[in-house]
Chain A
Amino acid sequence: MNIPKINTPRINSPRLFKFQILILLITITSTSALLASNSTDSDTQSKAARSKIDNLTLVANGAWKSECGSCHLAFPPGLLPERSWRKMMTSLDKHFGENARVDEKLAREITQFLVANSADLSGNRRSSKILQSIPRENTPLRITETNYFIRKHDEISASVFKRPKIGSAANCSACHKGAEQGDFSEHNVSIPR
């Protein structure tokens, strides 16, 4: 039966249909790509350009941030030499009294990130100073043991570190408000009472 349609715009139906399918496919593909990219933030980001400012530039590696930052500040890799990070990552089951093991794939990714941004390989000024303050035969696991750290904090008495809002010298963010962004500048320090 042929019912005439009055005042209906003439749409080229097969073409519109194909167009819609195309949009659907593009959306699905790009969404999958987005989902996939969430789980591998490694190489491309760690090789990103580093700024020359004094801040320890944090090239955010997702795995490092979430795994290493779950119990304490994710200490910027530029604060220790490569050998320290390697030693740390191969003894995670005895991580300062805790078992901090992560699965192998993650461990490899994190190690890669730490090494690439370590004090030896980072061009950062603070990193070079830290590195120079560590005797070659030492492989410190604690940033707070390095001569550089000790010198920099020699005006802070042990009792200050024990203040309830601070707890210990490992709690950088308590006083260094920019620690999460790699900013340890003296000008951005506020010591809680």
Chain B
Amino acid sequence: MNSLLLKIIFVATSLINFIMIDIAVAATDTNPQLLLKSYAAQAKKENPSFKEFASLRGEQFYHAERVHSEGDKVSCMTCHTTNPKNIGKTRAHKEIKPMAVSLNTERFSDTEKVEKWFKRNCQDVLERTCSAQEKGDFIAYLLSVK
């Protein structure tokens, strides 16, 4: 067993150790760019003529005021305020950290969390599931807010 091989083993195991510890301590398993990639693939499946996400569409989506079937006005702004850089408030008055990625780097870093909230909030605001394109446009907008 020569010492070069030993050195390689040392380095490899150290690397593996560091990576595994990294995974263990962080709840993050994705990032906005990875999510956009995955939503783009989905969007293409849902609509073959899909080209790319547009932060402008996402901005309109965020600000669109809708009327719920139960009569009240509702929109993303209801909880996240008119500007995604602001601290929002849930219906139970609990603070929500900013949606703008520039101000909150935890956003879009946990796939499970992202999917859970898209599912809940699209149901709350639009009373349906959001399409992959809507999700991607939304993320693109929140990435663009500086």
Contact = CB atoms under 8 A, between A and B. Distances in A.
A34 B24 contact: yes
A17 B1 contact: yes
Q: Which secondary structure dominates chain B's binding surface?
A: helix
A27 B93 contact: no
A20 B9 contact: yes
B17 interface: yes
A171 B124 contact: no
A28 B24 CA distance: 11
A139 B144 CA distance: 48
A1 to B, nearest CB: 14
Contacts of B85: none
Contact of A73 (B6, B20, B94, B123): B94
Interface string A1-33: 000000000010110110010011001100100
Interface in B83-101: 89-94
A186 B132 CA distance: 49
Given A13-B1, A98-B124, A167 B89 contact: yes
A106 B91 CA distance: 23
A28 B92 CA distance: 43
B13 A72 contact: no
Nearest to A173: B94
B64 interface: no
A174 interface: yes
A16 B6 contact: yes
B93 A171 contact: yes
Contacts of B93: 72, 166-168, 170-171, 174
A73 B90 CA distance: 11
B120 interface: yes
A28 B16 contact: yes
Interface of B: 1-3, 6, 9-10, 13, 16-17, 20-21, 23-24, 89-94, 120, 123-124
17 contacts: A13-B2, A17-B6, A23-B13, A27-B13, A31-B24, A35-B24, A38-B24, A70-B90, A71-B91, A72-B90, A72-B92, A72-B93, A98-B124, A167-B93, A168-B92, A170-B93, A173-B94
Interface of A: 11, 13-14, 16-17, 20, 23-24, 27-28, 31, 34-35, 38, 70-73, 97-99, 166-168, 170-171, 173-174
Q: Which 5 A-B pairs have the closest CB atoms?
A: A167-B93, A72-B92, A13-B1, A31-B20, A71-B90
Given A27-B20, A31-B17, A72-B90, 14 more contacts: A13-B2, A14-B1, A20-B13, A23-B13, A27-B13, A27-B16, A27-B17, A31-B20, A34-B24, A70-B90, A99-B124, A167-B89, A167-B93, A170-B92
